[in-house]
Amino acid sequence: MSSSPANIIGMKVHCNACEKEFPIGKKQQALLREDQPIACKGCKAELVISAVEKQRFLGFDNPAKPMMLAMMISGLLSVCVFGGTFLGLLKSDGLVLVAVVVLIGSNLVLGPMIRSATKSLMVNLDPKGAPVAAPAAP
C-alpha cells in the first residue's frame, strides 16, 4: 500500500450528500490524507473520508503519470512548432502539417487512455457529522 503524498492525477470524489462527482487537486488530496474535511463543489458541504475509504485512497497508484508526461511533451512540441512558424523560423509547410497531425493524433489517443486509466480513482465522502455506518462483520 502506498502512502505517498504525491498528487494522484485524475483523482475524483463522490459526495454522498448531493451525489455529485468532482475531481480534486493536490491540496484537497493532502487534506484527505490528514483527515481534514474538504468542501463539495456542488452542495458546499464539508466532506470527510471514512477509514475504509482512506485505506482505498492511500492504496491508489498514479496510472496516468506516464501518459501525462507524453501530453506535456506533446504540448511543448506544439508550442515550439507553432511558435517557430509564427516567428518565421519554420518555412516548410509539410513539416508543420505533419507536426499538427501528430499533435492532434497524440491528444486524441492519449485523452481516452487517461480517462480509462483513472476511471477507478474515486472515493466516497460523507458530509461532516453524518452518522458513520458500522463496518460489516467478517
Q: pTM of whole model > 0.85?
A: no
Q: Average model confidence (pLDDT) for the chain?
A: 82
Number of residues that make up the chain? 138
Burial of 50-84, coded b for 16+ CB within 10 Å and e otherwise, reads beebeebbeebebbbeebeeebeebeeebeebeee
68 with 8: CB under 8 angstroms?
no
Q: What's the pLDDT tens digit per position in 56-68? A: 888 888 888 788 7
